Amino acid sequence: MTRFRPLRAALAGGALAFVVATVATLVVRASSAYSPSVRQPIAFNHRKHVAEVGLACSTCHEYYEKEAFSGLPAADACGACHSEPQGKTAEELALVKLLASGAPLDWKPLFRQPPHVFYSHRRHVVAGKIECGVCHGTIAESTVPPSSVKRLRMQDCIDCHERRGVSTACTTCHR
């Protein structure tokens, strides 16, 4: 026990705070770079629904112009067209079967911010007049959902705010 006294003294003298801060920084950096795999209930084809059928984003993401969260499609939104198969793909047959079972569609969000960040779709889409593709890229052209969560970096937001002349004050986005 006596051989640990110098370590205890050093830790009590402020080194502990340094070690904790360093470890916390490493954990945050590692988690922000980590993009967990996402498994959706079906491999949704955005291109088919947006470009070919002509559905608006609000058909499935009904809150993006009104709320902070865009919303994810409920079973009744899909069931309006897919109570019976519209084609012969394995994914559509899986969707029809899933809808018939009454099980909820358990869509996973593909874009995430840390809990201390407040992001409002309404503020960006309606007030800022920002097109979906600015943040979501070419997702409307995709034939299968991305397989990982996209983590937006703070610098992505700051760069956009600076380009548009919008405040970069911490309280603009952080709770």
What's the pTM? 0.67
> 16-63: per-residue pLDDT in tens?
455 444 444 444 444 444 445 778 888 889 999 999 999 998 899 999
- Whether the per-residue pLDDT at 109 is higher than 80: the answer is yes
How far is residue 149's CA from residue 115's CA, in Å, rounded to a whole number? 15
How far from the centroid of its chain's Cα atoms is residue 97's Cα?
A: 27
Beta strands in the chain (DSSP E): 111-112, 150-151
State the pLDDT at residue 33. Answer: 42
